[in-house]
Amino acid sequence: MIDDILAKNLEAGRKADNERRCKSGVTVETASRATICEAGNYTSSCNDPSMCGVGLGCIADLKFPYAQNCKWLRNETNSCKSDYECQLDNYCWYKTPQNAKDGKKQCMKMYTMDDYTEFGYVAPSVHTGNDKKITYAFDDNIINGRYCKSAIALIDAASNTMTCVKIHDITTNLDAHKASAKKPAKCLYQDGDEDACKYMYKDKTGATKLLQQEYCQCSLMEELTAANKDKPFKPFTLPYSETKKKNEKSDVRERIEEGNGFCPLAT
């Protein structure tokens, strides 16, 4: 009984004695006469991207009854609802600020745009589709800034605009943000310091401005930890910024009351 339950919804390539055990509902016999699950072909019915073969995505029709079938992954300029509908070097986002206001996404080729290129933005709370989870403060700048060669973008939520920029400088609270930090950028690990790490960029005029700021993160590197070096470290699952939001403390955070940590993105 247990084996029967576990052997359902098998992915393509897994051995199966009948098609009902496969997520795709399709089996094929190999040269060695083994029966395995086969991914869906073009136009096969689906309800998940993993049910479709290489180069295909599970994409719904734009008209009623909105049937979902395995179709060729989409290229630039094609509309989309999630990254899973786009070619592997594309992601699904808003090409212009107006597209963002209208809620119209399209496939966009990643890491191709120069500094100061502008494109659309919508805040994570109103994202639709299979968007990535936002954890760190600057995750939104990175995850949705993949259009940029620099792999990060400035966000102006009020105008629904993202702008490609480069991180020019990092300062930390270890010296009250007086000098540029060396890598890995050390910072003072303490409660309530949301601007422990500041990431700076240069605008078109050459002026240095704040791109994003973040808490100092707990370090598992002995050379970056000033307190309780004699105690063994255990792995932790959440960054300090996330545990802070939930009013919780990670295992490591409970043991380190003060000391040096590091700035994310600066290692």
**Is there a contact between 74 and 80 (Cβ–Cβ < 8 Å)?**
yes
In whole angstroms, give the CA distance from residue 80 to residue 62. 10
What local confidence, expressed as pLDDT, does residue 10 receive? 84
pTM (2 d.p.): 0.73
What local confidence, expressed as pLDDT, does residue 51 receive? 86
Per the model's pLDDT, the better-predicted residue between 206 and 128 turns out to be 206
What local confidence, expressed as pLDDT, does residue 3 receive? 53
In whole angstroms, give the CA distance from residue 253 to residue 134. 21
Query: CA of 187: how far to CAs of 72, 160, 169, 228, 241, in Å?
Result: 47, 32, 14, 17, 14
User: Which of 22-36, 151-165, 202-216 has the least mean pLDDT?
Assistant: 22-36
Gap between the terminal Cα atoms of the chain = 50
In whole angstroms, give the CA distance from residue 248 to residue 16. 45
**pLDDT surpasses 70 at 125:** no
Q: What is the mean pLDDT of residues 106-113?
A: 97
Closest CA to 58 of 75, 82, 22: 82
**pLDDT surpasses 50 at 210:** yes
Q: What percent of the chain has pLDDT over 90?
A: 42
**pLDDT surpasses 60 at 152:** yes
Tens-place pLDDT, residues 212-222: 998 888 766 55
Opening angle at CA 39, ends 33 and 44, nearest 5: 125
**At CB < 8 A and 24+ separation, what contacts does 248-254 make?**
250/218, 252/218, 252/220, 253/218
**pLDDT surpasses 50 at 237:** no
Mean pLDDT, the chain, whole residue set: 80
Tokens of 114: 């120069």
**Is there a contact between 218 and 240 (Cβ–Cβ < 8 Å)?**
yes
What number of residues does the chain have? Answer: 267
User: Which of 143-147, 172-176, 189-193 has the least mean pLDDT?
Assistant: 189-193
Per the model's pLDDT, the better-predicted residue between 252 and 186 turns out to be 186
Tens-place pLDDT, residues 129-148: 444 454 567 888 999 999 99
**pLDDT surpasses 60 at 127:** no
Instruction: Say which DSSP state 23 is in.
Output: S
Q: What percent of the chain has pLDDT over 70?
A: 76
